[in-house]
A = this chain, B = another copy of it.
């Protein structure tokens, strides 16, 4: 039950597409992540996906359009909707998913959940 400084948490790691849990909220992991390049197309059948951009510009590609997010902008990908995050530069995000959600939508390919 401590306050969380998101910038300090982001400074503790440098690998991309490997979210760090900074706290939990109602059964969800609240995470920070660094992105660079294109992630894979995936969907989460059981959960919405919460993105808030803290630094950089993030494209969230959907099958029919692309949502471009700058710092201070957020987007919720509804459950079941295919999406692909693409960072054309280093991007920092706040990400919320239920604890245990594989970041790729597939436990076989998901990054291990780490704590910062």
Contact = CB atoms under 8 A, between A and B. Distances in A.
Interface in A62-116: 67-69, 72-76, 78, 81, 94, 96, 98
Given A25-B50, A67-B3, A96-B25, A30 B72 contact: no
Q: What does DSSP make chain A's interface, helix, strand, loop or mixed? A: strand
B76 A24 contact: yes
Contact of A72 (B6, B48, B69): B6
A12 interface: no
A74 B21 CA distance: 13
A30 B74 contact: yes
A25 B78 CA distance: 8
Contact of A74 (B6, B24, B47): B6
